[in-house]
Structure 1
Amino acid sequence: MHLKIAGQHVDLTDALKNYVTEKLGRVDQYFDNVIDAQVVLRHEKFRNSVEVTLFAAGTTIHAEMEDKDMYAAIDGVADKLERQVIKYKEKVTDHHNAENQKRSAEEA
């Protein structure tokens, strides 16, 4: 997965980049078809927000999270993405299994 990290009003330290890379790496274990990911880290007055867009074969998945702590926002958005990827993968898998079962029943 190609990861592009951008920051608005945030100093992108190596620690932040490594943390984002580590947390978004969890998505790869569920869904291998992720082609590209864009991450935007923002700091505004008293809140931090993280926006992630995953571009995968056949779909685009987007998640946002705001929190007082940047690391907590990254954790939250990683959890949201993980749930969305699992849901999408189950949907695709169930769809294909239903088609195969229908064809098997028609052939028999």
Structure 2
Amino acid sequence: MNHTLNGDNVEITDALRGFVGEKLAKLDVQGTDTSSARVTLKIDGSKQSASGTLQVDGQDLTDITATASDMNTAIDQLVNKLSAQLKRHKQRQYGRPQ
């Protein structure tokens, strides 16, 4: 999966890029055709947020945002929310498992 990482008031370091890449790699295991992801990291005062959009089967899933006091926690929450969104997309597309 290709991913684009942008920062708003955040310097994107190699460590952050690697952490986000490692977390997004877990989404590939779910068996959907996830072609790309766009992630934006933002610091606004004491709040740190991560927002992302996945492109699956040629369509964008909704923009999802997670906010926490720590950037790594915000990224973890974002990936969990994206994973849940992928599951819902997969169930809608292929039908509910019996």
The alignment's TM-score, normalised by the length of structure 2, stands at: 0.89
1:59 Cα deviation after fit: 2.8
Unmatched segments (≥5 aa) in structure 1: 98-108
Q: Which residue of 2 aligns with 1:85?
A: 86
- Whether contact under 8 Å (1:31, 1:85) holds in the other structure is no
Alpha-carbon separation, structure 1, partners of 2:49 and 2:69? 9
User: Runs of 4+ in structure 1 displaced over 6 angstroms?
Assistant: none
Higher helix share: 1
Identity %: 29
**Structure 2 unaligned residues grouped into runs of 5+:** none
- How many residue pairs are counted as aligned between the two chains? 96
Cα RMSD of the aligned pairs, angstroms, is 1.6
Determine whether 1:25 maps to 2:25.
yes
- What letter matches 1:86 in structure 2? K
Distance, in Å, in 2 between the alignment partners of 1:18 and 1:31 is 22
Contact kept in structure 1, 2:32 and 2:90, CA below 8 Å: no
Is 1:51 the counterpart of 2:54 in the alignment?
no
Deviation at 1:58, TM superposition (A): 4.2
Larger Rg: 1
Q: C-alpha deviations, 1:57-101, integer Å up to 9, x for none?
A: 143223110111000000000000001101111221117x9xxxx
